Amino acid sequence: MAKIHLTRCQFLIPFADILSDAGASAGSFLAKFGLPTSLAEKANHYVPILPAIQFAEASQRSQGIVDFGFYASRQLHYGHLSEKTRARIGHSPTLFVALQQACKWASLEDTNLLNWLERHGDHVRFCSRLAGTKGLLHLEHSQWLQNIFPIHIVRQFSGPDWAPATIAFEARYTPSPACQSFWPNSRFLSDQHASWIDVPISHLSLPNRANEILPGPRNDEAEPSDRDIIETLKLMLPSYLDEGLPVLAEVAEMAGASTRSFQRVLAYAGLTYSDLLDTVRFENARKLLCETDAKIIEVAFSSGYTDPAHFTRAFRRMSGVTPRQFREQRRPR
């Protein structure tokens, strides 16, 4: 069974914003590719990455936007990385350690993102590639994002004006003159074995100059690994709770399997698709009840229930208490 590769909604927001600024209906384009339309509320949720790439390319083509990925990358900054990634970089004593941490935890951003370091003369290359996308067209949109984030990481150590000598793309892609003028001291390469930027080896020993204070990484936290299909769906499905969850056949298609084969995978884990949806809804509701002051009816709608009474019964079946009792139990006395 094929894997469903995921990306954070955070990385779709700039593309949607550019569309809206151009007077187009970003929501219509997102819906066309089965993506949630309320991205801002779901920045740290996950969606399938292949429809996301298709959305970006269709949007660029329909609006005639040259260098769509470049303009999207200009709207992203260091703070758009996941909190866990920033925590590890924030506690790295040198740039070299920070880049190693970014490689190790790349899948926190895109579940199929691979990052690694290569030494070439007096530089190292910070390389990026999306596993499972070989041969796909129009990957330059995502490769702009893959290259911009290591630039922001290096700037945490070297200062806000640092720029790489080379910005390379795995795709066969040549940036426009307007784009190249924004990076006047960088050369561009295309059709490479991976996307990469180069960093002088002399920079690797730079100390951390970040002012951000974040919680330290937990020692008992497992390293990222290939997620099985059930854990992948638990990451993806919350993005769709308030806009209509995909049916079993649609999820099976995303996974490259027949509906029957997908049902067997779930059955092997002792689940049905309905069980999985109940779990996702419950975990979303539990988080909202613990971390927000949203009204119970708002929690119900945000968790994919159209009937608050149905939500209360389902929540009680999962937890043994009503949503209101659950919240009261967890409030400080």
Question: According to the model, what pLDDT value does residue 134 have?
Answer: 80
> Global pTM?
0.80
- Where is the domain boundary, 203, 229, 255? 203
187 and 283, same domain (yes or no)? no
CATH number at residue 290: 1.10.10.60
Q: Is 232 within a domain?
A: no
Identify the pLDDT of residue 210. Answer: 57
19 and 144 share one domain = yes
DSSP assignment of 98-161: HHHHHHHTGGGTBTTEEEEEEEETTEEEEEEEETT-TT-S-THHHHHHHHHHHHHHHHHHH-TT
Q: Based on the domain organization, do 249 and 321 belong to the same domain?
A: yes
Q: What is the pLDDT of residues 209-228, one digit of tens each?
A: 754 434 444 444 444 444 57
CATH (domain of 11): 3.90.1520
Give residues with Cβ within 8 angstroms of 82, minimum separation 6.
Answer: 8, 44, 108, 109
Does residue 245 surpass a pLDDT of 70? yes
Domain boundary pick from 203, 230, 265: 203
Q: How far apart are CA 124 and CA 121, in angstroms?
A: 8
Q: With pLDDT > 90 as the criterion, what percentage of the chain qualifies?
A: 64
Q: Say if 86 falls within a structural domain.
A: yes
pLDDT tens digits along 169-205: 999 999 999 999 999 999 999 999 999 999 999 999 9
- Check if the beta carbon of residue 16 is closer than 8 Å to that of residue 39: yes
| pLDDT for the residue numbered 75 | 95
How far apart (Å, rounded) are the C-alpha atoms in residues 158 and 181?
22
Please check whether residues 155 and 289 belong to one and the same domain: no
Q: Are residues 64 and 198 in the same domain?
A: yes
Sheet with 123-130, strands from edge to edge, namely 113-120, 123-130, 195-200, 166-168, 187-189
Considering only 33-47, 101-115, 221-235, which range has the smallest mean pLDDT?
221-235
Alpha-carbon dihedral sign for residues 277, 281, 286, 291: positive
Could you identify the residue written with the tokens 């043994």? 320
Indicate whether 51 and 111 sit together in one domain.
yes
Task: Find out whether 81 and 107 touch, Cβ atoms under 8 Å.
Answer: no
Mean pLDDT over 51-80 rounds to: 93
The answer to the question of residue 107 being in a domain is: yes
pLDDT tier, 333 (very low <50, low <70, confident <90, very high otherwise): low
pLDDT at site 316: 87
- Among 83-97, 156-170, 197-211, 279-293, top mean pLDDT goes to 156-170
Q: Are residues 189 and 98 in the same domain?
A: yes
Strand pairing of 187-189 and 166-168?
A: parallel
169 within 8 A of 141, measured Cβ to Cβ = no
pLDDT interval class at 3 (50, 70, 90): confident
User: Domain residues for 289?
Assistant: 241-330
Does residue 209 sit within a domain? no
Shared domain check, 198 and 129: yes
Q: Does any domain span residue 228?
A: no
Q: In total, how many domains does the chain have?
A: 2
The chain-wide mean pLDDT, for the chain, equals: 89
